[in-house]
Amino acid sequence: MIDQKTIEHIAKLARLKITSEEAVAYGEQLSKVLSHFQKISEINTDGVLPLVTPSEIEFFAREDEVKKEYTAQQMVANAPEKAGNLFKVPPVV
């Protein structure tokens, strides 16, 4: 089982405030999850090809085509504020 100190450290890293009781409960839960992953890692997958999707679908990708559908003026036409052909936004410090 994952100890309470480790759970409290993880909570601190995640900036979560948890009680001692919650740390114990989360330790038990996380230990169960990790044991399931351990069981999965023990499965022999030799000769099994990687799977992109479980269903039999054909890969389809369209050709990339450059299209100029809108002008810069059309894109900023409804902007609340603009500077030339650019959107004007508050400065970020």
Q: Enter the tokens of residue 53.
A: 């999707």
Domain boundaries, the chain: 4-41
- pLDDT confidence of 85, banded at 50, 70, 90? confident
**Rounded to whole angstroms, how far apart are CA atoms 78 and 74?**
8
Q: What is the pLDDT of residue 59?
A: 76
Q: pLDDT tens, 18-62?
A: 999 999 999 999 999 999 999 999 999 999 888 877 787 777 888
Q: How far apart are CA 28 and CA 4, in angstroms?
A: 10
Region 4-41: CATH code: 1.10.20
